[in-house]
Amino acid sequence: MPNIKSAEKRVKIIEKKTAQNKSVKSKISTYIKKFKAAIENKDIEVAEVALGDVVSLLDKAASDNVIHKNNADRRKAHYAKLLDDLKKEAK
């Protein structure tokens, strides 16, 4: 336990920020699951909407430093490729 008052404050702030970051990451994973479910069901329209939501959440998380920018970019590219592969397969 911290002995200094400012260190005690930092502990409280870190706990709040950790909870916020965990919430954001949980929301991202929920939307990713929806996207992957749409891909599994080969539902292109739902997958396109879900991808837009996922990309938006990843960009927001990266801009707020919840996840690293390169991590967000890599995941966006991966999910976009999954959607493109589904579209090619449907043709």
pLDDT tens string 17-67? 999 999 999 999 999 999 999 999 999 999 999 999 999 999 999 999 999
**The pLDDT value given to residue 44:** 95
Instruction: Tell me how many degrees the CA angle 17-20-76 measures, rounded to the nearest 5.
Output: 115
**The pLDDT value given to residue 90:** 84
Q: How many domains does the chain have?
A: 1
Domain that holds residue 55: 44-91
Helix ranges (H only) for the chain are 5-40, 44-63, 69-90
Query: Which helix H or strand E contains 66, and what residues bound it?
Result: none
The answer to whether residue 27 is domain-embedded is no
Nearest to 76 by CA among 38, 37, 50: 50
The answer to whether residue 29 is domain-embedded is no
Q: How much is the average pLDDT of 3-24?
A: 97
For the entire predicted model, the pTM comes to 0.89
CA distance 63 to 57: 10
* Crossing angle between the packed helical segments 5-40 and 69-90, to the nearest 10 degrees: 10
The answer to whether residue 22 is domain-embedded is no
The answer to whether residue 14 is domain-embedded is no
Judged against a pLDDT cut of 90, whether residue 1 lies above it is answered with: no
